[in-house]
């Protein structure tokens, strides 16, 4: 089968389409026939060598939407089930940008019934990241949350989920995104080129990696949650500082799938590319300016 991989680090030109064996599911695993897989910034970071592995062949792709093709023992999923899932790991030999992928059965969930595979594939990594970041922030209904980079994949879902949980949400993004974010649940909007009010929020989810600038906007004893481990600022003023290391969680993903069906979460897709053009998809990602995920389909 074909898969998008890298064996040397670099720009989009480093992405290769290689022939690899079809993976076999072990106990409590499923093999998924891939219909679509979103392209995320983490894939570009892997391609560029941010997580090491020089000389290894590394598979690309974390998000997947498709159908169960076969299953190992002890699995409740059956052939033909339509699912979504998350393949975590920075240096795995096979990712989801492939014709087939094997995942642990507890890493997948039923796909949203209201979404086609292309849009369903944009959900797992970004929605799980947003949900788990909110869990880490541990704010209560009525408290205030700032989301930086709020128009991005993780940021927009953080706005939607925070609103759903009853938080008072302020979205920080480009001025052109104000209408979109207020319709998705932001109570207030701040243009990203304006200074942040000091100590104004009970917590911040800093998807824009503003660091100390975002930390200054958190009140004493509040919470700062970053999305890139090792990039978070040093704690101060009793603020709890942490960074998300997203994990696969099929049960939580199932809840998020239901929220997508209910209209709480909006899966956004900007463009689609065939697997053969995975390098072109990486080049488009590098150009920036996207409002929605790029999706690769075998």
**Contact between residue 284 and residue 292 where contact means Cβ atoms under 8 Å apart:** no
The whole-model pTM stands at 0.97
User: Does residue 66 register a pLDDT over 90?
Assistant: yes
What per-residue confidence (pLDDT) applies to 190? 98
For position 195, which CATH number holds? 3.40.50.720
- Helices H, strands E: what count in the chain? 8, 16
What per-residue confidence (pLDDT) applies to 249? 98
CA distances from 272 to 17, 103, 106, 275 (A): 17, 23, 28, 10
Q: Which pLDDT tens digit goes with each residue over 8-59?
A: 999 999 999 999 999 999 999 999 999 999 999 999 999 999 999 888 999 9
**Contact between residue 94 and residue 23 where contact means Cβ atoms under 8 Å apart:** yes
Domain count, the chain: 2
Task: In whole angstroms, give the CA distance from residue 189 to residue 196.
Answer: 11
What per-residue confidence (pLDDT) applies to 54? 84
User: Does residue 91 register a pLDDT over 90?
Assistant: no
For position 23, which CATH number holds? 3.90.180.10
**One domain, residues 152 and 209:** yes
What is the pLDDT confidence band of residue 217, given thresholds at 50, 70 and 90?
A: very high
Using DSSP's 3-state secondary structure scheme, residue 263 falls into coil
**One domain, residues 272 and 164:** no
User: Does residue 89 register a pLDDT over 90?
Assistant: no
Residue 135: domain span? 126-243
Of 70-74, 158-162, 274-278, the poorest mean pLDDT is in 70-74
Residue 259: inside a domain: no
């Amino acid at each position: 089968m074909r898969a998008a991989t890298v064996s040397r680090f670099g720009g989009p030109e480093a992405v290769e389409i290689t022939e690899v064996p079809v993976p076999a599911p072990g106990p409590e695993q499923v093999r998924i026939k891939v219909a679509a897989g979103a392209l995320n910034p983490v894939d570009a970071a892997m391609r560029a060598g941010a997580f090491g592995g020089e000389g290894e062949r590394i598979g690309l792709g974390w998000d997947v939407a498709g159908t169960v093709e076969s299953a190992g023992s002890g699995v409740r999923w059956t052939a033909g089930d339509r699912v979504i899932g998350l393949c975590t790991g920075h240096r795995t030999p096979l990712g989801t940008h492939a014709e087939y992928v094997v995942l642990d059965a507890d890493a997948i969930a039923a796909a949203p019934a209201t979404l086609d595979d292309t849009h369903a594939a944009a959900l797992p990594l970004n929605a799980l990241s947003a949900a788990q970041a909110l869990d880490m922030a541990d704010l209560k209904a009525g408290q205030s949350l700032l989301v930086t980079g709020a128009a991005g994949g993780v940021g927009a879902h953080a706005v939607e989920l925070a609103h759903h949980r009853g938080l008072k949400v302020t979205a920080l993004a480009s001025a052109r995104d104000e209408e979109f974010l207020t319709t998705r649940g932001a109570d207030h909007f701040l243009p990203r080129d304006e200074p942040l009010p000091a100590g104004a929020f009970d917590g911040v989810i800093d998807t824009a990696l503003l660091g100390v600038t975002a930390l200054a906007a958190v009140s004493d004893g509040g919470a700062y949650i970053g999305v890139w481990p090792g990039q978070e600022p040093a704690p101060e003023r009793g603020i709890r500082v942490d960074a998300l290391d997203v994990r696969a969680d099929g049960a939580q993903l199932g809840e998020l799938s239901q929220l997508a069906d209910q209209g709480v979460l909006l899966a956004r897709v900007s463009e689609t590319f065939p697997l053969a053009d995975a390098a072109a998809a990486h080049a488009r990602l590098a150009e920036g300016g996207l409002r929605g995920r790029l999706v690769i389909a075998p």
